[in-house]
Amino acid sequence: MPAKDSSVKPSWPKPAEFAVLFGVFAAILAVCLSLFFLPKQSASYAEVVLKGNKLYTLSLAEETSMEIPTDHGHVHVVVRGGGVAVTSSPCHSQFCVHQGFKYQVGESVVCLPEGVAVYLVSYGEIGEIDA
């Protein structure tokens, strides 16, 4: 009978491995839940970034609408009711459009295929604002 090649046939996870996997999952879950449930500050401004370059800093107190030109068309950004949203995009998934309006500090709307990101900040995080 040929000898078994134990280096090829792996075994089922041992208790130590299960413990590590569970610990990793629990830690990540704790971070996610804290991000979801912790109270957040209402944002004052939205930074619009195109391929890493900041284009605009929009005040959420003023309703506005703008078209961001991208390689495949235009991404439409709207500020309304103290929040910001992407209302149209030429991307295939439309994930950015389905995100809806964002209102709180740290939230963002990202359209990766078009390279557009809208990130919400508070007044204290803004340097010099153009009047």
Partner 1 sequence: MKLDAYGILGAALLLVLLLLGFALLDLSQSDARKVARQGVLLALALVLGLLESFLPDVLLPGMRLGLANIALLLVLYVYGAREGFVVAVLKAVLGSMLRGSMFSMGGLMALTGTMAAFIGMALLHALWKKCSPIGVSVFGALLHVSGQMLIAYLYLGVAVLGYWPWLLLVSVLTGSVTGLVALLLLRNKALMRYLRP
The site for partner 1 (CB under 8 A) is made up of 5, 8-14, 16-17, 20-21, 24-25, 28-29, 31-32, 35, 47, 49, 51-52, 71, 93, 95, 98, 106-110, 112-113, 115-119
Least separation in angstroms between CB 130 and partner 1: 20
Least separation in angstroms between CB 54 and partner 1: 8
Least separation in angstroms between CB 31 and partner 1: 5
User: What does the DSSP 8-state code read for residue 63?
Assistant: -
Which residue, 71 or 130, is less far from partner 1 as judged by CB?
A: 71
**What sections of the chain are H helices per DSSP?**
15-37, 95-98
Residue located via tokens 């996997």: 21
User: What does the DSSP 8-state code read for residue 2?
Assistant: P
For residues 131 and 129, give the distance between their C-alpha atoms in angstroms, rounded to a whole number: 6
